[in-house]
Chains A and B, each alone.
Chain A
C-alpha cells in the first residue's frame, strides 16, 4: 500500500505500447523454448519419444497460424503495415512472410533432428530450445525497424547457432565447426556494429524509418561516413548470408555441424540474413541505390561463380551442398541487386522455395549419413536407388530443383530472379547467373548418377538407410512444396508480391 502511494507521486516513465498480436509469433517461439526447458527441468522421467520435437513443431505451427492472422491485418488496405514496441519492430507483409519462412525452417529442421538426436545418443530438449530461440532471433531481424534491433536479432540468432553447431560434442568436426563459426561470427558482428555506428554518425539515427526520412529529406555534403557504413553492414549481412568473399566459414561449418543443424543454418539463418539485407538496403537505403548496387553486383557475381565452381571439385556431399547453398545465395543476391519491387518479390520467392529444397537436401543427407553422422562421401549415395528407391527419388527431386529444372519451384525461383535482373537492365548479371546454373547442373547430376548407378564389382554397398517418421514427414512436405509450387506457383507469387518491405518512421 505504501508502495502504491509512493508511485503515485513520481512521474511515470512512458511505457511503449506493445501490440500483443503482432509479437505473438515471437512470444510463442520463446515461450515454447522456456516451456521445453521447464518440462525437462521439472520432470524426472524421460518423456515419450519425440515429445520435444512435437512441441517445437506445434510452436512453429502456432507461430505460422498467428502470422496468418497478422497477414490478413497488414494486407488489409485500410489498416496496412504498422510499427510496434516504440518503433523497434515493423509489422508488414515482409515481416509476416519471414515469420512463416523461419518458422517453417524451425519445424522442418526439428522433424529431422528428432531421430538424429536419438541416433547420435544426444536426445534432450536443448537443441530444440536453441533452435526456437535462434529462430526467434531471426524473426526479430526480419521485423526490425532499427539497426540496433537488427543487431540484437542477429546476435540471438548467432549465439544459439554457435552452440548448435557444436552440439554433437563427441565429433571433433562438430566442435571445430562451432569454434570456427563462433570466432568468425564474432569477427563479422564487430563489422556490423561498426557499420551501425557509422550510419548513426551520418544520419543521426538508428531507426530505419528515421534514416530513410533523413536521407530523403537531406542531401549529404559528405557521403563518406554513410557509404563506409554501407560497406561494413554488407560485411555483416554477407557473412550470415554466406556471400563471397564472406563465405569462407560456410563449407567447414556446414560440413562439421550436425546435419539437421546445417539444414537450419542453410534455411532459417540465411533467410534472416536476407531479410535484414533487403529491408535495410533495398528499402531504407533506396535513395543511395546507385552506390551500393554495383557492389552487390560484384558480390553476386563472385558468389555465383565461386559457389558453383568450387562445388564441382568436392567429393563430400555435405560440403558440395554447402557450396551449392553459396551459389543459391548468389541467385538471391541477383534479386537483391535489381533493387526493384519485382526483385524483392523474386528474392522472397527464392528464399521460400530454397528453404524447402535445402532442408530436404540436408534431410536426405541426415538419413544417408547413418550413425555417427559420417557417411557423407559420394560413395554413400551409390546405388541408393536400389536400397531406397523412394528416398533416391525424393533426393532427385531436390537436386533437380536446385539445378533449376522446370516444373520444380527451383526453376521458377531462378526464372524470377533472372527475370527481375533483366528487367532492371542487369543483363550481364543475368547472363552469369544462367551460366552458373548450367555449370552447377553438372554437380547435381553427379549425385543423381551416383544414386542410380549400381556397382558391378559388388563394391561395398553404402550404409543401411532408415527413414524415420519425423524425417519422412519433413521430406514429404518439402517434396510436395517443391513440386506443387513448381507447377502452380500463383498463390506463392501472389504472397511474395504483397510482401514488399515497408519502412515506417518510428510511430512513437
Chain B
C-alpha cells in the first residue's frame, strides 16, 4: 500500500500535463473538473498510503520510496525519492484534502474567466510542486518543490496580469522569495559540505538527519539559521513578509490554497523536518526563531486591525498566525506547530473562501466599508464564516482554540515574555476578526455607498497603499450600479460547509486531556521524539493559562462588538497601521533613494514594472549598473585600453607572484 505514494504527486502532474495539451479543448467546466478529480485522486492515494503507514508499528513508520537517481555529483548522489513518515503524511493529507476542496470551489469561482483552463493548469502544477516539497527525501527535492510552488505562486498572483498591480505583486513575491531561496541554498550547501549528504534519512544510515548529532554547535546554528532565512521568505516572516499582503491580488482560491493553507506553511514544515539540526545548534538559535515568530505575530495582528480590504485583513492575519507557528517551532513545540498548521489550514482556507464568496456576491467589491448586513443575503457564507471566525479567535471548542492554547503553553514554558506577546496577539486576533465579521455580515447595509465613495476616493487620490487594491477592483465598481449581493453556487458553498465542519472538529486531532487522545502527538512522536521540548508545567497552571486565553479571546470579541456592532466606542484605526507602519514604503524608499521610489511607485507604476525598479534590491543594483555602464562607451580605443589594462593587472599579479 505504501508504494502507492508515487501516485500522490503523479496525479496532479498528469492533470497539469493534460491541461497543458488539452486545456483549451476541454474548456469550462471540464478542465476544472479534471483538475479537481486529479487532486481528489491524489487525496485518495494519500489516504491509502496513510493507512499503510498506520498499519505498521510506530517505530517502523518510515518508508523510503526511490524513484530514480537524479544527480550523480562527484562522490555523492541525489535521488528523486519520497520519504513517507508521519510528518510528510500529515502534510500530504491536508494539502491534498484542502487542495481538492479549493479546486472544487474554483470551478464556481472562476466561472466565465478567460483563463479558466490555464488557472487549473497552474493549480495542478502547484499541487504537484507542493507534494514534491513535502514528500521529497532530501533537501534538493524539497528545494525543487520549493521553487516550483514559488513559481506557481508567482504565476497565480499575476494571473490577471493585464492589471498592473497584479504583475507587480507577482514579481515582488518572486523576488522576495529569491532572497529566502538564497538562504536555503546556502544552508543546503553547508549541510552538504559538513555532513556529506543532503538526504534526510537513508536506508544505510547516511542521511544527514541521522547523524546530525555529530554537528558542532556553530555549524548547526549556521545551517539552522540559513534554512530559517529560506523559511522566513516562504512563510512571510519579518522582515521578508512584504510580499504576502500584496499577493492578495491573485484570485481568492489562490489566496486560500497557496497563501493561507499550504505553501506559506512549508517554511514551518522545513523547520520541523530539520529539527534534529535545530536541536544541535546553540541555545540562542531557536530563541531567535521564536522571537521573530512572536514579533511577526504581534506586528501583523496590529496591522490587521486597520485594514479595510476584506482580503488584506486575512492576509495579515495569516502572517500573524504563521508567526505563531514559528513561535512554537522556536520553543521546541513541533507538534503544536504542525497542529496549528493543520487547524489554521482549515479555518483560514474557510475564511478566505468565505471572503471570496462575499467578493463574488458583491460583484468584486473588496472594501469592507461598503459591506454590511450580508448574513441575511448570504446565509451559508455567513454562517460558515462565523465558524471560521470563532475558530481563529480561539473560542472553545473550535479548532483554533486547542492549537493556539498548545502554542501559548509551550511559549510559557520557554519564556514568559513570549507568552505575553502571544496572548496580546490572541486578543488582537479576536478583535480584528470580530471587526471583520461585524463589518461584513452585521450592521447596516452599506453597499450602495460604494459608488459614491469610490468617486470621492478617486478625487482625493487614495492613500499610497490602497492604490493597488483600488485599481484592482475600481473598474468593477464603476461599471456595476449598486449591485445586490447574492449567495454563491453550490460548488462554492459545499467546500465552505466541509471546511466549517473541519474547523469545528479539527481540535479533536490533538486533545490535551490525556495521552491517549493526543492523537497527533502520538502520531508524530516517531519523527519529533528526540527533539520535542515538553514544557514542564503543572496541570493547574495549564488550566489557568487556558482560561486566560479564553478570557483574552472573549475580551477581543467584546471590544470589537462595542466598537463596530454597538458603536459605543469610536473606532481606533490609525493610518500608521493601515500602512503597516510604512514598512513596505520605507523599504522601497530606502532602496530607491529618498522619496524617489515612493513617488514613482504611485505615479509611474507602469514604468516601474518595465524597468524593474519595483524591487528594492533591483533599484540598488540598477543604480550601481548605471554607474558602471559609463565604461561601455562604444569606442574601440577605450575597449582596447580596457583589455590592455586587464592584461597589465594580470601581468602585475603574476610578476608579484614570481617575486620580482
Contacts and interface: CB of A to CB of B under 8 A. Distances in A.
When A and B assemble into the complex, do they touch directly, with CB atoms less than 8 Å apart? yes
A107 interface: no
B145 to A, nearest CB: 9
Interface in B615-646: 615, 617-618, 621-622, 624-626, 628-629, 631-632, 634, 636, 638-640, 642-643, 645-646
Nearest to A342: B74
B610 A450 contact: yes
A24 to B, nearest CB: 31
A312 to B, nearest CB: 5
Contacts of B610: 378, 446, 450
Residue of A187, A248, A418, A430 with highest tally of chain B CB at under 10 A: A248
A228 B629 contact: no
Given A312-B612, A312-B618, A454 B178 contact: no
A137 to B, nearest CB: 21
Contacts of A434: 182, 185-186
A238 B631 CA distance: 18
Given A180-B639, A310-B629, A418-B189, 10 more contacts: A235-B650, A251-B632, A313-B625, A405-B147, A406-B143, A407-B144, A434-B185, A441-B174, A442-B175, A490-B72
Interface string A106-138: 000000000000000000000000000000000
B653 interface: yes
A298 B655 CA distance: 16
Nearest to A378: B610
Q: Provide the main secondary structure of the chain A interface.
A: helix
Nearest to A244: B646
A230 B643 contact: no
Contacts of B650: 230-232, 234-235, 295
Contacts of A179: 636
Nearest to B174: A445
Nearest to B80: A487
A374 interface: no
Contacts of A38: none
B647 interface: yes
Contacts of B636: 179-180, 183-184
B280 to A, nearest CB: 21
A187 B651 contact: no
Chain A, interface size category, equals 35 or more
A412 interface: yes
Contacts of A52: none
B80 to A, nearest CB: 9
Q: Provide the main secondary structure of the chain B interface.
A: helix
B658 interface: yes
Contact of A248 (B163, B643, B654): B643
Contacts of B161: 449, 452-454
B192 A224 contact: no
Interface of A: 179-180, 183-184, 187-188, 191, 222-224, 226-228, 230-232, 234-235, 238-239, 244-246, 248-249, 251-252, 291-292, 294-295, 298, 306, 309-310, 312-313, 342, 378, 400, 405-407, 412, 415-416, 418-420, 422-423, 430-431, 434-435, 438-439, 441-443, 445-446, 449-450, 452-454, 456, 487-490, 493-494
A226 B655 CA distance: 10
A232 B647 contact: yes
A467 to B, nearest CB: 19
Interface string B469-488: 00000000000000000000
B615 A442 contact: yes
A180 B632 CA distance: 13
B642 A248 contact: yes
Contacts of B539: none
Contact of A493 (B71, B615, B649): B71
Interface in B338-376: none
A441 B640 CA distance: 31
Given A227-B655, A306-B628, A309-B628, A191 B647 contact: yes
Contacts of A431: 186
Contacts of A226: 658
Contacts of B58: none
Contacts of A238: 646
Contact of A187 (B609, B622, B640): B640
A334 B609 CA distance: 32
Residue of A418, A443, A445 with highest tally of chain B CB at under 10 A: A445
Contact of A422 (B174, B189, B612): B189
Interface of B: 68-74, 143-144, 147-148, 151, 158, 161-164, 167, 170-171, 174-175, 178-179, 181-182, 185-186, 189, 192-193, 609-610, 612, 615, 617-618, 621-622, 624-626, 628-629, 631-632, 634, 636, 638-640, 642-643, 645-647, 649-651, 653-655, 657-660
B18 to A, nearest CB: 16
A234 B650 CA distance: 8
B612 A406 contact: no
A430 B189 contact: yes
A449 B170 CA distance: 9
Nearest to A294: B653
A298 B653 CA distance: 11
Contacts of A188: 643
B179 A228 contact: no
Contacts of A291: 654, 657
A184 B147 contact: no
B643 A454 contact: no
Contact of A228 (B163, B639, B655): B655
A239 B643 CA distance: 8
A419 B192 CA distance: 9
A231 B622 contact: no
A309 B624 contact: yes
A101 to B, nearest CB: 20
28 contacts: A223-B659, A224-B658, A231-B647, A238-B646, A245-B649, A246-B642, A246-B643, A248-B631, A248-B638, A291-B657, A294-B653, A295-B653, A306-B628, A312-B621, A312-B625, A400-B151, A407-B148, A415-B73, A416-B73, A420-B74, A431-B186, A439-B617, A449-B171, A453-B161, A453-B167, A453-B609, A493-B72, A494-B72
B643 A235 contact: yes
A-B pairs, top 8 by smallest CB distance, nearest first, are A227-B654, A245-B646, A231-B650, A313-B625, A248-B639, A224-B658, A231-B651, A235-B647
Contacts of B174: 441, 445
A423 B643 contact: no
B531 to A, nearest CB: 28
Contacts of B640: 183-184, 187
